Amino acid sequence: MKTIRMVRRVALTLVTVLLPTVTAAQSPPSAEEIIRRLEEHRTYETSRAEMTMTVSDRFGERQSTMIAYSRGAEEALIEFTSPGERGQKVLRTEDEIYLYYPDAAELVRLQGAALRESMLGSDVSYEDLTGGKTLLDTYDVSFDEEEEIDGHPTYRVQLEARRRNVPYPRQTVWIDAEHFVARRTEQYALSGRHLKTVSASRIEIIDGVPVPMQQVISDELKRNSSTTVRIEALEIGVSVDDSIFSLEELSW
């Protein structure tokens, strides 16, 4: 396990270093390659992030803050720090989500349809947080064309679902040609209706990994509904205690 991680780490670093060369080569990489590199940038061996989430809906805006820890693609823990929900935690393990509330004496386990509920009233559902989201496993990808988003060159890649049990049958992702992070993602319903747009901005290189520091998720069906997630601070590769992702420790 450790070796694999090491190898990946090395590969990751290599990629980052080699990045400008690849772009300079002018011939765009294959869609699979683009997505692979995109995903590599999304997954950290370990990380710790301080984030702010702003939800606006018809009743106005509300803000919450949180600290998120992650390890690999599967494990994550979000701990809310804003007054309204201070101490609440969301633990993601391989295929389950547990919620911890300081006011409750028991953990809440989410399964099945309950995962479709929104987190803190945002446009993010618990389902969006669940693991195992390697895009290449679930989607057939095809390169579309190069396009500029907010003045940045991007590769537009089409994702067509291979399985019928994923939320979005089709997605279009605009991946930054320089940093290989998604600048824009559009998610569609089976009918072809545009459901959600995720727009990323303020890309920063942190510990060698390009990270979009701000993402805006807007619900295209509800005119006044959007969620902004801003990363205030991010450390990658920090040492994270094993116990953080354990169920037993969740309530402490």
Partner 1 sequence: MNIPTLAWRNVGRNRRRSALSVTAIAVATLSIVMLFSLLEGMKSDLEHNLTTFYTGDVEIRHREYGQYEHLNPLHLSVPEADATRRAIAAIDGVELAVNRITVPGAVMQDDERIGLQAMGVQFDREAKFSEIRQYVVAGSLQAVTTPGDDTDPRVTPVLVGNRLLERLDLEMGERFTMVVRTATRGTNAMTFRAAAVADFPVQSLNETTFWAPLERVQRLAQMPGETGEILVGLTDRANRDPEHRAQVLREIRSTVPELEVRHFTEIETTYGFMQTASNIYNVIAVFFLLLASTVVINTTMMVIFERRREIGTLEAMGMRSGELIRMFFYEALVLGFIGALTGLIAGTGLALVLNQIGIDMGASMDSVEFEISPVLHPVVNLRSTLLVFVGAIVVSGATSYLPTLRITRIEPVAALREE
Partner 2 sequence: MKPTQTVALAARNLRRHRRRTIITAGAVAVGLMMYIAVDSLLVGVEEESNRNLIWYETGSAQVMHEDYLAERDDRPLKYTVDDARQVQQALEAAGLNATSRIVFSGELIVYRDPFPEDGSVMVTAYGIDPDTDNDVYRLPQTISHGSFLDPGENQALMGAWLAEDIGAEVGYPITVVTRTRHGYYQTIDLEITGIVNTPNPMINRTAIFLPEDVAAAYLQMDGAATEIAVAGRLGQSLPELTEEIEQQIAGAPELVVADWRTIAADVVALAEAKEMGTGIILLLVFIIAAVGVSNTILMSVLERTRELGMMRAIGMRDREVFATLITEAAGIGLIGGVIGMVLGAGAVTYLVEAGIDYGSIMRDTDVGYRVTQVIYGAWNLPVFGRALLVGIGIAVATAVFPVRRALKMSVIESLRNA
- Segment 45-84, which members bind partner 1 (CB under 8 A)? 55, 57, 59, 62, 64, 84
Please say whether the dihedral angle defined by the alpha carbons of residues 52, 53, 58 and 59, taken in this order, is positive or negative: negative
Q: How far is the CB of 128 from partner 1 (least distance, A)?
A: 15
CA angle (96 as vertex; 193, 114 as ends), nearest 5:
50
Please state, in angstroms and rounded to a whole number, the distance separating the CA atoms of residues 69 and 199.
Answer: 22
Residue 41: CB atoms within 10 A of its CB come to: 21
Q: How far is the CB of 223 from partner 1 (least distance, A)?
A: 16
The CA-based dihedral angle spanning residues 114, 115, 120, 122, taken in that order and rounded to the nearest 10 degrees: -120
Beta strands in 84-129 (DSSP E): 89-92, 97-100, 108-110
Q: How far is the CB of 235 from partner 1 (least distance, A)?
A: 26
Site track for partner 1 across 110-149, x = CB under 8 A: xxxxx----xxx----------------------------
Span interacting with partner 2, options 150-158, 177-185, 186-194, 235-243, rule CB under 8 A: 186-194
Q: Does 247 bind partner 1 (CB under 8 A)?
A: no
Residue 233: CB atoms within 10 A of its CB come to: 11
Q: Does 211 bind partner 1 (CB under 8 A)?
A: no
Q: How far is the CB of 104 from partner 2 (least distance, A)?
A: 23
Contact (CB, 8 A) for 65 and 233: no
Q: Does 235 bind partner 1 (CB under 8 A)?
A: no
Residue 75: CB atoms within 10 A of its CB come to: 19
Residue (84 or 208) nearer to partner 1, CB: 84
Q: Does 168 bind partner 2 (CB under 8 A)?
A: yes
Residue (57 or 144) nearer to partner 2, CB: 57
Structure tokens at 115: 């995962």
Where does this chain bind partner 1 (CB under 8 A)? 55, 57, 59, 62, 64, 84-85, 88, 99, 101-106, 108-114, 119-121
